[in-house]
Every structure is written in structure tokens, then in C-alpha cells.
Structure 1
């Protein structure tokens, strides 16, 4: 689409624009930038994916392999050895965490994933079994403590819950993230519906304004025929932004001041443009989210160069992590080594 429709750059009209019309021009400029950003991300996508495959994937594959060996070794010790209550709490927490990390891994084979599913299911059931009794125990203990005049009424309950506090926190976080995903999906669905409705409305208005069959002048008729072809292409591509800009330009260029645009028209433009902007922002987020592997929050207004920085930073951190996890695994392979880790609280 090569037509220049940025009416905000026309000096003869800028001074006469209403506040709402100026707001529309800001939205137009914002969307133009978003379209450029989206094209940039789309063009960079394959290159970034290749870089991830080269740099990150081998390290994650190695790390997950070490994690699985840790899980398998700890699970065997748990079945074969007797441990103190405090040590059991550490082992349970570690195994539950490893199972959670690995159960959706793309780097392990089916037999390994079956073992992980077995461990994960065990701790899911274990947690569910202990959760309600512990709550009843806490209530009963509180009542008993009141009767006996005990000051520390929560000590035993805290010990019982110690192994599961992290689990509860993670469960809450999962529910929170799921709620956020649903809200975002609803917002996107509403924006998509408004865009589709607006697309049809704007398209019909433009075709009524420029239809060649209504033009007696042959030169202008040829121009309108060419423009109608472009409009049809934009409609097929669902390019609401282009069609809105064109409609705005056509109505402004009727020989009337931009003030001639009614509030109703302007509000419609605003809603439709905001919906288009939301759609573009969602498309950009989908791409940048797929590239953001780091545990750190995604940088605001993330740029392509930021992705490479994050990947390189993750590579450095993960290499160190693999090194230390392998060292930890050596201790886990023998009961005495495992006892050292448990005794120092570094399991």
C-alpha cells in the first residue's frame, strides 16, 4: 500500500484539527510504528530461532538430562533408605520440584517422562492427602493449646506444612497466570470482533464513495478503479488500519474542514484504531514471548537486539548451573554424599 495518508502531516489542516481528531492522528502514528515493529520481528524470527537452537537448546537438553538423573537417584534412595523426618522433608520438596520442572520437558525420552509422571503423581496425591488433615490438625491444636495455656500454638503445624509451602505458592501462581491468560484471551477476542465489524463497515463506506461506475469522468474513473482494486486487496488482507486511514483521508478531502467529521465518526475511528493497535500489540507480544526464555521479567519495549543479549546471558548462567548440578549429582549417587547435602541444606 503506497498511498500516503498521514493527514497529521498536512500543515494547512493541523491547526484546525479538533482534540479528538488529533488523538486519532496519534493513534495512526502509533499503529504505523507497531506495523514497522511487527515486520521487524517477523523478519528476525527465523534468525533468532536458529540462534536459540544453536546456543540454548543444547544446554537445556544437557541440564534436563542431569535433572532427570538427580530425580531418579533421589527416588531410588527414598525407596531403599531410611531418613530422618527433616531429611525426608528436604527430599520430598526436591523431588516434587524436579518432577514439576521436567514433566513438560521436550528433551527427554518417553521412558524418562513416564518416570517423571510417576513421581509427580505421587507428590500430587501426597499433597492432596495431607492438605485437609493438616488444616483440621491446626484447628484442633489451636483449641487444645487454648485449653492447656500453651503460648506456641503453631509450632507443630508449621513443621507439618514446611514441605508444602512452596507447593501452595506455586499452585497459587499457576492459578494467577491462568486467570491472566483467560483475561488476555477475552480481550483479544473482543478486539478481534470489533476489528471484523469495523472492517466491513469501513469497506462498504469506502466503496460507496469511490465506486467507478458512479464517475462520469473517464480519467477519474480509471483512478477510482485502480484505488478500488487496492481497497479490495486491503479488505482481503483484513488491513483495517489502511482502510480507516483511507476513509479518513477521503472524508477530509471532500473540500471540507476536518472539523466536518462528526463526533460519532471520530469515536468510531478511535474504537476501531484502538482495536487494531491491540491486535498488533498482541501479535508482537506473541513473537517476543516465544523468544523470552529467561526467568527474568521480559524487558519493557523489547527490541530484537535485547533478545540476543538475553540469550547470551542465559547461556552463561546455564553453563554454570549445569556445572554445579553435575557436581551435586556426584554427591547424590552415594548415601553418604546425599547426607552431606542434606546436612548442609544444599540439596
Structure 2
């Protein structure tokens, strides 16, 4: 929202009463929200625009190292270097990691590895997952066109497409979602968010000052100018400016707001409370979008700086995770170090086996 004009009842000789204090508090709150909401929206759009360049490549690199570890464990298992108890743990780790990498990150090349250690074929598992998720799919990957405008064969199930097509389609799907989020953010920013409280005040002013209802030409010109100011404030969803205009046209200037009657204050406070509620709802919606993107608790998303710092922290943490998994891969290439890990590892929901190896 654009500029707002502060409405504030100054202290006169007497102390402000309860209604006057509430008027001031509500006006200040609206001013704060009018500044904060565009700031949070800008933070959200900035994060969305950075995901494809700053975060997604790191995630892909990290998952690639996970895939290398799966292949390393497969070679170790096939080398028959460890006794059965350790091989059981290896098989469990291979299937768990491979399933996640295949299902969620597109590492189709791990399907044969998964099938070596699983009693259930990977295609059966993926089919079950698709059946569960079928009601949630709103943007199927196979409906997206490639850069040349050629659509995938809709008569073939997605999992039967060539690996290259599947990877390309998933990448297009991710990019399309990012484009849609950016477009949605811009649309929300450009769209006039006319709240119910603003509309009520606007309609009151229209009834009082619409020039078409005026026969006197001089008064008609005056009301035309008034309606231009009213319309601009309405289009900007600027409650405080609308109220300022309403008060101004009631011949109550800024220096004499304390002279508002009890009924006037009750009316204005009711309108201001509704506007605060509307703006708080809008703010919370943006905060929850931010939380979904960067993991920051939405209540803590209270400034552009805080949000971007959290996103940058996520990026740096991913870089650290990449460094750690690279070192892990290097260490586990030495069988004795992988064996030392397996010795202490316990498969979930299974009793711990004592190591009786001499």
C-alpha cells in the first residue's frame, strides 16, 4: 500500500479517554502493517526468484553424493567383505536411500540397485505412491510441454518414458512452479486488495460527494476533486487516508480530532478494528508462504532482513551438508570405516544385536 497519513489525537489539557487512546493505537497499528506487508511480500518474491539459482543446484549436488554412497554400499555388499549382520544393515540403508532418491529426486538409475535388495519391485512401490498421491496432483509432469513445444506421449505412463524425458519433465515442472509462484506474487502485489472496511468508508463518501448528484456547477467541481482523492485512496486500500478525508469533509481538522464525539469515535474505532483484522490476515498469509519456503516459523517472519537471513542460512547449511557428505563418502570408501559405522548402526524398530565378532 502507498502513502498513509497519520491520524493521531493529540493530548489536550485533559488526559485522553479510552476511546481516544484506542483510536491512536489502531491508527498506529495500521501504519505499521501498511509498511510491513509490502516488505514481507518483497522478501517472499526475492526468495522464490533465488531458489532456482541459489538453492536447487546445491540440493541436486547433495542428492548426487547420496546416490554415490548408495552405489558404494552396493559394491561393498557385493564384495562380500562383511558378515551377514552387517550386510543386513547395508541392504536396509541401500533400499531406504535409493527409494527416496528415486521417488523424490529422479535418480532412476538406482532402480536396479533397489530391486537387488527389496522383496517388492520398485515399480510396484512407485505405482502405490502414485495411487495415494493421485488426488493431490494438480500439475502432472507429463502435461508440460518441452522447450520445442512437443508434448510427451500421453498414452504412456510417466514411469515408462525414457529416463531423459522423465528428468527433463521434472525439471520443467520445478521451473514452471517457480514461474507460477513469481507470477502469483506479482499479481497479488499489483491487485488492489480492497477490504470490507475500506469499501464501507468509500461507499459512505461516494454517497456524500458523488458529483453526478450535484446540480450546482461550482459544487460539482469541488465534489469531482474530492472524489478523485477518495478514489485514489480506495484503489490503494488506504483506510487511514479515507478516514482522514471523511474527517476533513466533516470539517474536523487534524488539530481538533480530540473534539470527535463519542458516537463518532465509536464508529471510527469499529472501522479501524476491522481494517487491522483484515491486514493481520493478509500479513499472516504471506508469513505462512515464507515459512513454507524457508522453514522460518511464520510468527518470526517479521522483516525482510530476518527472512533473507534465514534463506541465506539455509543456503549455507546446504553447502555445509555437501562438505560433510563428501567427507563421509571419502571415509566410507575405506571398508573398515564403513564397518565401524555399521557396527553402531541400529535398524529402526529392530532389536540391537550384540557384536560377537572377534
TM-score when scaled to structure 2?
Answer: 0.54
Report deviation, 1:36: 1.9
Q: How does 1:276-291 map to 2 (within 5 A)?
A: 276-286=278-288, 288-289=290-291
- The 2-side partners of 1:113 and 1:25 are apart by 65
Answer yes or no: is the 8 Å Cα contact 2:27–2:272 preserved in 1.
no
- Work out whether 1:246 is the aligned partner of 2:242: yes
Q: Residues 18 and 259 of structure 1 are in contact (CA less than 8 Å); yes or no, is this contact kept in structure 2?
A: no
Q: Residue by residue, what CA displacement relative to the aligned partner does 1:237-276 show, whole Å, maximum 9, x if unpaired?
A: 6x2xx24652465157525732243576256314422322
Is 1:265 the counterpart of 2:261? The answer is: no
Distance 1:38 1:83, change over 3 A: farther
SS state at 1:56 partner = helix
Q: Any conservation in 2 of the 1:252–1:258 contact (CA below 8 Å)?
A: no
Structure 1 CA distance, aligned partners of 2:265 and 2:78?
A: 74
Structure 2 CA distance for partners of 1:271 and 1:281, relative to 1, 3 Å: same
Secondary structure in 2 aligned to 1:329? helix
| Conserved? CA contact 2:294–2:310, under 8 Å | yes
Could you tell me how far 1:344 is from its partner in structure 2?
3.7
Task: Please say which of residues 299-308 and 316-325 is displaced more in the overlay.
Answer: 299-308
The answer for the alignment partner of 2:314 in structure 1 is 314
Judged with a 3 Å threshold, the aligned counterparts in structure 2 of structure 1 residues 85 and 208 are, in CA distance, closer, same or farther, namely farther
Matches within 5 A, 1:123-134: none
Task: Note the residue ranges of structure 2 that are not aligned, 5 or more in a row.
Answer: 115-120, 130-193, 253-258, 348-358
Q: How many residues are paired up?
A: 270
* Corresponding residue for residue 207 of structure 2: 208
Unaligned runs of 5+ in 1: 126-194
Give 3-state SS (helix, strand or coil) of 1:7's partner.
Answer: coil
Residue 146 of structure 2 aligns with which residue?
none
Maintained 8 Å contact 2:4/2:31: no
Shift of 1:207: 0.9
More helix by share: 1
Once the 2 structures are TM-superposed, how far is the Cα of residue 285 of structure 1 from its aligned partner?
1.0
Q: TM-score, normalised by structure 1?
A: 0.56
Distance 1:114 1:14 in 2: 85
Q: Distance in 2 between matches of 1:16 and 1:213?
A: 44
Using the alignment, how far apart are the partners of 1:95 and 1:32 within structure 2?
A: 55
Deviates more, 1:207-216 or 1:248-257: 248-257
User: Residue 327 of structure 2 aligns with which residue?
Assistant: 327
